[in-house]
Amino acid sequence: MLYHLLYAFHADHPFFNVFRYITFRTSYAVLTAFVICFAIGPRAIRRLRQSQIGQQIRKDGPPSHLSKAGTPTMGGLIILMAVLAAALLWADLRSPYVWLLLFSLAAFGWIGFADDYLKFVKKHSAGLRPRYKLLTQTAVAAVIVGILYGALNYSTQLSLPFFKNIHPDLRWVYLPFAVLVIVGASNAVNLTDGLDGLATGPVAVAAVAYTIVTYVTGHRVFADYLLIPYVDGAGELAVICGALFGACLGFLWFNSYPASVFMGDVGSLPLGGMLGTVAVITKHEFLLLLVGGLFVLEALSVILQVASFKMRAKRIFLMAPLHHHFELKGWAEPKVVIRFWIIAIVMALLSLSTLKLR
Ligand code: 57M
């Protein structure tokens, strides 16, 4: 909005010319989202506590979690409000990609809110049935992909890390693939959100990585230089990725160990859905496997554990997802979280290096 309001004055006041720069607006989107989270956090946590929206702890989990019972959850609402406000303030609202990403935030946020509401307000401990959650997530992702390929006539070609000249055209097969990327990312972040700050940190790291990816993908000179697909207008998404980074930093102030608030599904589902949506829009879907490598490891640990248990009646890990395995091996919770953050940072740096290594 500020872009539209203030850039118009640049003819008489050259200073306002700065509002045309994505880098400037992204930087202020980071700061705006951070300050909003930081400012509304304490009051929001008090309101969640007063409303008794506290986490129930499953008995079959690590014993160390039992002391977390009653911790306010649904703190993801803080993140969503901060990202939305910063995006509306600093992004170019004429960009269809901006509205598509905000639709992803709102739609996945709504699914997560419905799940949390049933669990914590209506006290239906199971929340949304898994199949309904998956169905609605798939429907939302299908709408996003449908708009991209229907209204914005996106190419169905794939771009692969390391291979600059290989762009297989999946044609219609690309559509379910893109839906899988978005739904998979949403659920992988959800599974990872099982320790204080364990999802928030890596999402912040992934948001920084995709701030860079969106900027270079939407920049003709950089895209040509890096031999990556140029997506006209994708650079505007850097503003929202920056807002996501700032909001995660602000939320981490309260979600770090010992957490005074959890994000809830209302946070984890849209955070993952947004990362998946950005990966599809910038045509860096496989890069997400690297940028979000930690989320992939966590989801993979569950798949392997369930498959092993079903086929061999034996577990591979002491408990899945992976973070619980290390907890049960005796690692302190902060130790698990910080080490997983380190893995997330290393994987994000590796993923950015593939933009050049091709
Ligand atoms: C999402 N939710 C946390 C919190 C957060 C198929 C199976 C792998 C599913 C999985 C599952 O239930 N996943 C749900 C993970 C939960 O966190 C809440 O959920 C929101 C995110 N969606 O915002 O509101 C618990 O995580 C802890 N937590 C923190 N700090 C945080 O900042 O400590 C969360 C955020 C919270 C709190 O204790 O209650 C969760 O773990 O449920 N199931 C599991 O992950 C379970 N694993 C399991 O059953 N493994 C089996 C099979 C199925 C693979 C096995 O290994 O044999 C574990 N989780 C629980 N109990 N709660 C272990 C058992």
Q: Per-residue pLDDT tens for 177-236?
A: 999 999 999 999 999 999 999 999 999 999 999 999 999 999 999 999 998 889 999 999
Dist CA 97 CA 99 (whole Å):
5
Using the atom order of ligand 1, give the atom closest to the CA of residue 317. 56
60 Cβ closer than 6 Å to some ligand 1 atom: yes
Give the residue, by CA position, lying nearest to ligand 1 atom 49.
320
Residue reference for tokens 């290393």: 346
Ligand 1 near 264 CB (within 6 A): yes
| Residue 68 CB less than 6 A away from ligand 1 | yes
* Rg, the chain, Cα only: 20
Q: What is the pTM of this model?
A: 0.95
- Position 265 in a domain: yes
Distance CA 333, CA 324 (A): 9
In a domain, 69, yes or no: yes
Pocket flag, ligand 1, residue 54 (CB < 6 Å): no
11-47 pLDDT, tens digit each: 888 777 788 899 999 999 999 999 999 999 999 999 9
Could you tell me the distance, in angstroms and rounded to a whole number, from the CA of residue 130 to the centre of ligand 1? 14
Q: Is residue 185 part of a domain?
A: yes
Distance from Cα 163 to the centre of ligand 1, integer Å: 37
For the Cβ of 192 lying below 6 angstroms from any atom of ligand 1, the answer is: no
Q: Is the CB of residue 314 below 6 angstroms from any atom belonging to ligand 1?
A: no
Burial of 300 (0-12, 13-18, 19+ CB in 10 A): middle
Domain hosting 249: range is 22-353
Residue 1 within any structural domain of the chain: no
**Cβ of 184 less than 6 Å from ligand 1:** no
For 272-329, write each residue's pLDDT tens digit.
999 999 999 999 999 999 999 999 999 999 999 999 999 999 999 999 999 999 999 9
Closest atom of ligand 1 relative to the 73 alpha carbon = 24
Q: Partners of 72 in the beta sheet? A: 54
Residue 17 inside a domain? The answer is: no
Q: Ligand 1 centroid vs 191 CA: distance in angstroms?
A: 7
Residue with CA closest to ligand 1 atom 5: 264
Q: Which residue has its alpha carbon closest to ligand 1 atom 17?
A: 194
Residue 194 CA to ligand 1 centre (angstroms): 5
**Ligand 1 in contact with 115 (CB < 6 A)?**
no
Q: Does residue 9 sit within a domain?
A: no
Give 129 Cα–ligand 1 centroid separation in angstroms. 15
Residue 129 DSSP one-character state: -
Alpha helix ranges (H) inside 170-314: 174-192, 200-217, 220-226, 237-255, 265-281, 285-291, 293-312
What stretch of H or E contains 348? helix 333-353
- Supply φ then ψ for residue 144, to 5 degrees: -60, -50
Q: Which atom of ligand 1 lies closest to the CA of 255?
A: 32
Residue count of the chain, please give it.
Answer: 358
User: What pLDDT was estimated at residue 92?
Assistant: 94
- Write phi, then psi, for 145 (nearest 5 degrees): -65, -35
Does any domain span residue 2?
no
- 81-90, 129-138, 278-287, 349-358: least confident range: 349-358
Q: Which atom of ligand 1 is nearest to the CA of 333?
A: 33
**CA-nearest residue, atom 59 of ligand 1:** 61
| pLDDT of res. 163 | 81
Please write the tens of the pLDDT for every residue from 69-125.
Answer: 889 999 999 999 999 999 999 999 999 999 999 999 999 999 999 999 999 888 877
With respect to residue 311, please indicate whether it lies within any of the assigned structural domains.
yes
255 C-beta closer than 6 A to ligand 1:
yes
How many folded domains does the chain comprise? 1
Measured in angstroms, how far is the CA atom of residue 44 from the centroid of ligand 1?
23
